[in-house]
Chain A
Amino acid sequence: MNKQILTVLVFFTSVAIHSQKTYEKSSFDKIKERLNVGFESNSQWYLNDDAFDESPEGERLRANSYLRIDYQISERFSSGFQLESYMPEPLLNYSKLFDKEIGLGTFYLNYRTKKLDITLGYYYAQFGSGLILRAWEDRALGANNALRGGKIVYDPTNYLRLTALYGKQRKGFEVSDSNIFGFETQFDIADALQIERLNTFQLGLSYVGKQETYTSEMTNPQATIKVPEMVNAFGAQLDLEYKNIYTNFEYIYKSENARLNNFIPNIVSFSEKALFDGNAITWNIGYSQKGFGIGSTFRRLENMRFFSERSALNLNNNPTSQMSLNYVPALTKQHDYTLANIYLYQSQPGLVIENYEFPLVKSGEIGESLDLFYNIKKGTLFGGKYGTKLSLNWSYWANLKSDYTDPSGTPYFVGDDLTYETKLLNFDNKLYSEINAELRKKWTPKLKSIFTYINFSYNQGFLESKGADSFVNAWIGIAESTYKFQGGKSVRLELQHLSTNDDARNWAGGTIEYFFNSKLGVYLNDSYNYEDSKNTENTKIHFFNLGGSYTKGSTRIGINYGRQRGGLLCVGGVCRPVSKNTGVTLNFVSTF
């Protein structure tokens, strides 16, 4: 057993004993009340499958497990830790950084009063909308980029919040080789100046700095710039709400840093001839009243990948984006249906310069997303007896238009002094667009339906790095209905179809799900690419899942046997690649 873990366990036992002494009566109950425990285990048994050419590599039975314990020591002190186990190896496609049988993932000690909140150890944090800093955890993605150090949140008045932090970022079971400094102030102007006409008027200012040493790999004196050890990012955010209208504006500037040389995909090296800074702009505006809501989001990202280690910029070596300091998800609508997750837009925040015979510059993305929600009233023609809920989404994303200059004309790395300029507002280089409509309808107290229509255009050439622009234009229709029987029994049927003449052409899919009661349910689903096309990778293979789940209170056990399509697994707009696989998965989640 790991020494660290032992230390933590001993600490907690002593805490428990200590509390027993303090509270003589029903000490056992006192501990019970103060303890929060969460356990999650996801395991998979990978099987050979004749439908695939390759059989799974390495260990066949793999599991990722997490045990998180939080304890309220006293009114002001709390503490906790998370044990993680990846036995005998992490599930396929998880970062190799997590290749450890069992280890202490995070731990912390927190002191909190009404005005002060101090954390030592590992902590999570977000400044603004996360464009400048977001430390978070997502187990399905294998992302945990908590910071280890100290964080102080101080509220001197009820309209001012100051946050200061220092730390090193988590990198698997280690920490990355850099120092992170952060400061944020949130000022509630409406509250401070007693502006009663405005519902919200807030200003946020933030700073994040990363200090990381750099050793020049160049042996010749051609380097003309010094790669900075310090990267500083500054952010400002304004939130405003008046009556039914709200708006929010955020700007981030990230100081100059070296860029990757992409001369050999898996080798990390940096250009020492030119430096590049980055920036981000987001603007939201919306209006809503009962039964109607509309919201618009504009965002422009230029060179906004921000990692705690420079080398993490090489995504060939870092496909799961470990060590990211900020959060730059795709802002397209997040889909829950399988066929809608085949052609997924992924955000393009980074700077990629490839200078071979013809220079290629990707410097970021720009785009817009619009949402509309409308509740058609009961008793009207389209509302029917129970009303109809309508939601619409439109989005459009483009690559930033960039013009490069290459003074020396020297390609490759050593003498490469290529730089670029971008237009502020240019939407010409289309990457993705989507129109999405969802209609929810209740027919009778027992029968409900959801109809979804999606029409999208996906620049496969660019987004999957297959060369020149080439689009997959497709539409998807989905209909699902749920019928409730007596005693919590219900059945759900869902049919999907993706229609396109591009890429692998049409797909059909469907799900049937039956709940015996609110605790026990079973399902079967299938996706099938039924047409002949140039892309035969998935043609005429049933990607099916057969499974069930049992839930009791806050404990859930799920079992699934199925075949997964290779592609992207995305949570909250952040994705990790997954390879095709067939197997049995077992998920167990419980909180106590």
Chain B
Amino acid sequence: MISLLSIKKNIMKKFIYLLVLSLNFTLFAQGQLPNTTLKTLLGANTTLTEITANNDLIVVSLWATWCVPCKNELDAVAEVYDDWVAETGVKYYAVSIDDSRTAKRVRPMVNGKGWEFEILLDENSDLKRAFGVSTVPYTIIIKSGEIVYKHTGYTPGYEDELYEKIVALKG
């Protein structure tokens, strides 16, 4: 009985240790852009660093063809995207994490839906992993090459909140 109790105690200790460790990092962690290779729809290689070198303010959204909230988000953004660009000059990059099962669906879907923002491919989830993301959609705002905002999930109307953030950052 005692040994069982001590095992449980031991487990708890380790769990608390892990939690404290992760919370510790919360206090001072903030992401730098990962150097992960992404593919354009034409098969060329690029990285977020390259992209941000030419664009001061960008939004990166991780999505997949099989993810319903992701498609809701992108449909909603597509409707107002012209206004967003005209008012703030922001560029929106939708990075598909579709793997080879569904990656071939990306191009016809993007065109079929008439989405006009940029599309990138992360076929083996390298960027997703580098960001530590476990569920999509996942949205990031990058200002002057630095990640200034992160958000996980999509709820109807969230695109308005995102736009407010963009306007505030545009300053």
Contacts and interface: CB of A to CB of B under 8 A. Distances in A.
Contacts of A199: 42
Contacts of A333: 66
Nearest to B150: A554
B111 A40 contact: no
A200 B42 contact: yes
Nearest to A78: B35
Interface string B117-141: 0000001111001111111001000
B112 interface: yes
Contact of B138 (A68, A69, A450, A554): A554
Counting contact residues on chain B (CB < 8 A from A), the size range is 35 or more
A13 to B, nearest CB: 11
A375 B158 CA distance: 23
Interface stretch (A251-259, A285-293, A525-533): A285-293
Given A136-B124, A518-B161, A591 B132 contact: yes
A302 B133 CA distance: 35
Contacts of B43: 188, 200, 202, 239, 241
B26 A590 contact: yes
Given A28-B28, A36-B132, A102 B113 contact: no
Contacts of A386: 79
Contacts, number: 231
B22 A39 contact: yes
A148 interface: no
B18 A85 contact: yes
Contacts of A112: 35
Nearest to B156: A490
Contact of B102 (A248, A334, A555): A334
A246 B107 contact: yes
Contact of B104 (A28, A78, A297): A297
Given A28-B28, A37-B132, A124-B124, A288 B155 contact: no
Interface of B: 8, 11, 14-15, 17-18, 21-22, 25-26, 28-32, 34-35, 42-45, 65-68, 72, 75, 79, 99-105, 107-114, 123-126, 129-135, 138, 146, 149-153, 155-158, 160-161
Interface of A: 1, 28, 31-40, 63, 65, 67-70, 72, 78, 83, 85, 87-88, 101-102, 112, 124-126, 129-131, 134, 136-137, 139, 161, 188, 199-200, 202, 239, 241, 246, 248, 284, 286-295, 297, 327, 329-331, 333-336, 371-375, 386, 389, 391, 440, 448, 450, 482, 484, 488, 490, 492, 515, 517-518, 521, 549, 551, 553-556, 572-573, 589-592
7 contacts: A32-B30, A33-B30, A67-B21, A85-B15, A327-B100, A590-B22, A591-B132
Given A38-B132, A286-B107, A295-B105, 17 more contacts: A32-B28, A32-B29, A33-B32, A36-B131, A68-B129, A124-B125, A202-B43, A288-B110, A297-B104, A329-B99, A330-B101, A372-B108, A373-B113, A484-B157, A551-B152, A573-B102, A590-B26
